[in-house]
Amino acid sequence: MLDPVDRPSAGLTVRCTRVLLSPWSRLSLLVLLLACAGTAVLVYEPQRFVSAGWPQLSGGAAVVLFAAAYGVCTAAFVPRPLLNLAAGALFGTQLGLPAAIAGTVLGAGIAFGLGRFLGQDALRPLLRGRWLTAADGQLSRHGFRSMMAVRLFPGIPFVAANYCAAVSKMGWPPFLLATGIGCVPNTAAYVIAGSEAGSPTSPAFLLAMGFIVLTGAGAGVLAWFKRHRLRAASPAPTEARVPEPVA
């Protein structure tokens, strides 16, 4: 039985715990973490350390360490194309591609976990409106198929897709599996380009760069058509009617 003196302190502890674990407190923590990560990327440029390699390590240890650093960097907003090029330049295609894919899945998992545990409860009640509701329903009901399409479509930012999926009701297995499979084509193109950067006239380099250019252009054209279709489908604003004077 609590002493009467201890009851106010116990009640204060419970209230503080509830406030700290509330959805909006967790969302604020997520925003703070993302802001710190973005600032750290701008100040320290961690992609330079990843691309520099580790002379004291070689073989499997270097690949594992690179994949881990890749995952942390992608979660901290470092652009994946730079990391994919670094993977090819450091390890070649045979080791660079598995390292880049593993890092991609790891980074996506970190972002998904942060968004799911810190942001979902606060953001789900805000999913109002036709387009937000439709996107949430698509990701929640058809998680694997939707995420596969997102990963194959190079015009959608990697980090944005991670947090959108985290706010939805998509499960972990379809998210990670679709990420691992869907990122292969685009990642392979950048890794091959990085491994063949010393021979810019080689067929492998030209094919990889051609694939990157074509997919980027296709993403831009598709986004342009989608934008105009959405604009055409949206109802035109109605003019305010002026009430007629009563005779």
| DSSP string for residues in 26-67 | HHHHHHHHHHHHHHHHHHH-HHHHHHH--TT--THHHHHHHH
Name the pLDDT band for 238 (thresholds 50, 70, 90). Answer: very low
pLDDT tens per residue across span 38-93: 787 777 666 665 556 555 556 788 899 999 999 998 988 888 999 999 999 989 99
Q: CA–CA separation, 229 vs 94, rounded Å?
A: 42
Average pLDDT over residues 121-143: 70
pLDDT tens per residue across span 168-179: 888 999 999 999
Tally of CB atoms within 10 A around 101: 22
> Residue 194: which residues within 8 A CB-CB, separation 6 or more?
84, 85, 86, 87, 88, 89, 96
Domain boundaries, the chain: 20-229
Q: CA–CA separation, 83 vs 110, rounded Å?
A: 17
pLDDT-wise least confident of 11-20, 89-98, 103-112, 116-125: 11-20
> Two tokens at 43?
């100040």
Q: Which residue has the tokens 């970190």?
A: 110
Q: CA–CA separation, 188 vs 167, rounded Å?
A: 29
Contact between 223 and 155 (Cβ < 8 Å): yes
The one-character DSSP state at 235 is P
Whether the predicted pLDDT of 191 surpasses 80:
yes
The stretches of 183-245 forming alpha helices (DSSP H) are 184-195, 203-233
